[in-house]
Amino acid sequence: MADLFAEKAQDWDQSEMRTQLAAGIGSAVLERVDFHPNMAVMDFGAGTGLISGQVASKVGKITAVDVSESMLEQLAAKPELQGKVRTVCQDITEQPLDEEFDVIVSAMAMHHVENTDKLAKTFAEHLKPGGEVALADLDKEDGSFHPAGTEGVYHSGFDREAMKSILENNGFGNIEFVTAHTVNKETGNYPIFLVTARKL
C-alpha cells in the first residue's frame, strides 16, 4: 500500500491548523471519556501522535495504528511517547489485531476509510465488552475541506444521523455527539464532531 503521507509526515506537526484541531479534539475526548491508568487504548489513524500525546499520561498503554509508516515514525520519535505507545502499521479492517481494548480513539481518520460500516464493525470487534469509542471527524461538507484531487479521501465528512445508524447497526449504544472544534479555512468553516459510544 502506498504511503500517501510520506512527504507530509516530516512537518505535519508544524501546521497551526492541525495542532489547534488536535487540541480541540483532545480536550473534547478527555472531557467525555473517563480514562484510568489500567486502560489499554487504540489510537486509530494515529498519525504523528497528536491525540496519543494528550491521552498517554492517563492510561496504561496505547497502541497507535496507522497505514502510514512515515507518520508512525514521527510518533515513535517523540520522547514523551516512548515506552508508552507501540506502533502498528497495518489496515486493521483487513488484518485485525489479536487483542481487545478498553477505548478506541480516532481523530480525522474515518474519512480516509472507504467502508465506514466495515470500520465500525472492526472497532466493535477490537473492543472489550462495554468498551468505548471516541471518534472525531468532519461534519458533512461540500468537498472543499481537502484540496481537489487529494488522494485517499473517500468521504466529504459524515452526516451525524447516518453515523449514529452505522454505530447502532454494529452493536453500539449510548451514542452522543458534540462539536469538538471548528476549522476555519479560506474555503469555509468546517465543524468537527466527536461521537462517543459504548459497545453493548
Q: Are 32 and 134 in contact (CB under 8 A)?
A: yes
Strand pairing of 85-89 and 101-107? Answer: unpaired
**Rounded to an integer, what distance in angstroms lies between the CA atom of residue 56 and that of residue 137?**
21
pLDDT of res. 12? 55
pTM above 0.85, yes or no: yes
pLDDT of res. 14? 64
User: Left, alpha or beta for 135 (phi > 0: left; psi -120 to 50: alpha)?
Assistant: beta
pLDDT of res. 151? 85
pLDDT of res. 142? 96
**Which segments of the chain have a pLDDT < 50?**
none
pLDDT of res. 2? 59
Angle (deg, nearest 10), helices 160-169 and 116-125: 50
Q: Which domains does the chain have, with CATH numbers?
A: 9-199 (3.40.50.150)
pLDDT of res. 149? 84
pLDDT tens track for 18-61: 889 999 999 999 999 999 999 999 999 999 999 999 999 999 99
> Would you report the helix, strand and coil content of the chain in percent, each value rounded to 5?
30, 30, 35
User: Left, alpha or beta for 49 (phi > 0: left; psi -120 to 50: alpha)?
Assistant: left
